[in-house]
Chains A and B, each alone.
Chain A
Amino acid sequence: EAGVVQSPRYKIIEKKQPVAFWCNPISGHNTLYWYLQNLGQGPELLIRYENEEAVDDSQLPKDRFSAERLKGVDSTLKIQPAELGDSAVYLCASSSGYEQYFGPGTRLTVT
């Protein structure tokens, strides 16, 4: 069974540029999560989807971050414009019950 797929694995951009991350969850998993992991910290939830509906986006900085999951499967997370402080690992996870399965993450470096 394929796991959660994320791309790209690494991204380096200059500040003020836009960036997008893509996630393909495990087949059949209706719930999708985006987490932010700063260096030396645990992941923190940015947004949670149930199918195509964002049911918890309270921690998403909406002035510059946006996300979508149009058909209830793949999801994209976008930052525009990126700031130096956005340098972190962005993790996607999916679940069909209690257990969350995580992708390898996208490591973003903003210079």
Chain B
Amino acid sequence: GNSVTQMEGPVTLSEEAFLTINCTYTATGYPSLFWYVQYPGEGLQLLLKATKADDKGSNKGFEATYRKETTSFHLEKGSVQVSDSAVYFCARASQGGKLIFGHGTELSVKP
């Protein structure tokens, strides 16, 4: 089964609202964790990553902290923009560099 679980979408927010997309994982040890973003019609882009416990990844105003106690890597942004509308994927590294992805969470930001 899938060892990365994301909150169900779609998530609809107004511009400047606070965003949280929950992600939890199951794994042996402490794998690297990632958030990827997929804009409409485009490929996946790495948004941020954390390679060890308590690390905080950040990029473009988005942040996520690697919490080993809760096996979580929740994505947050303080003030979303219409241009943030996309599908967000949480992922963890697995054997050989393979990535295991969550199902994705669609975010729609309205002006």
Report A's interface with B, CB cutoff 8 A: 3-4, 31, 33, 40-45, 48, 55-56, 91, 93, 95, 98-105
For chain B, the bracket of interface size reads 20 to 34
CB distance from B23 to the nearest CB of A (A): 11
B41, B44, B93, B102: the one contacting A91 at CB < 8 Å is B44
Given contacts A42-B91, A43-B44, A91-B43, contact A100 B99 (CB under 8 A): yes
With contacts A42-B102, A42-B104, A98-B49 taken as known, whether A55 is within 8 angstroms of B43 at the C-beta atoms is no
CA distance A43 to B104 in the complex (A): 9
| Contact A98/B93 with A41-B103, A43-B44, A104-B43 known, Cβ cut-off 8 Å | yes
- Shortest Cβ-Cβ A-B pairs, 8 listed: A42-B101, A102-B44, A102-B43, A104-B43, A45-B98, A42-B89, A103-B43, A43-B101
How far in angstroms is the closest Cβ of chain A from B2? Answer: 8
Query: Considering the complex, which residues of chain B in the window 83-111 have a beta carbon less than 8 Å from any beta carbon of chain A?
Result: 89, 91, 93, 95-99, 101-104
Contacts of B32 in A (CB 8 A): 98
- CB neighbours of B96 from chain A (8 A): 48, 55-56
- Our count of residue pairs bridging A and B at CB distance below 8 angstroms stands at 54
Residues of A within 8 A of B43 (CB): 3-4, 91, 102-105
- A101 → B minimal CB distance (Å): 8
Interface centre among B36, B43, B45, B101 (most CB of A within 10 A): B43
Shortest Cβ gap from A7 to chain B (Å)? 13
- Say yes or no: is B51 at the interface (Cβ < 8 Å to chain A): yes
> Nearest Cβ distance between residue A37 and chain B, in whole angstroms?
9
| Sample (18) of A-B pairs whose CB atoms are under 8 Å apart | A31-B97, A33-B98, A40-B103, A40-B104, A41-B104, A42-B102, A43-B44, A43-B99, A43-B101, A48-B98, A93-B44, A95-B97, A98-B51, A98-B93, A102-B43, A102-B45, A103-B43, A104-B41
Q: Which A residues lie within 8 Å of B64 (CB)?
A: none
In angstroms, how far is the closest chain B Cβ from the Cβ of A50?
A: 9
Can you name 11 extra interface pairs (CB under 8 A) apart from A3-B43, A42-B104? A42-B89, A42-B101, A42-B102, A42-B103, A43-B89, A48-B98, A56-B98, A93-B44, A98-B93, A102-B45, A104-B42
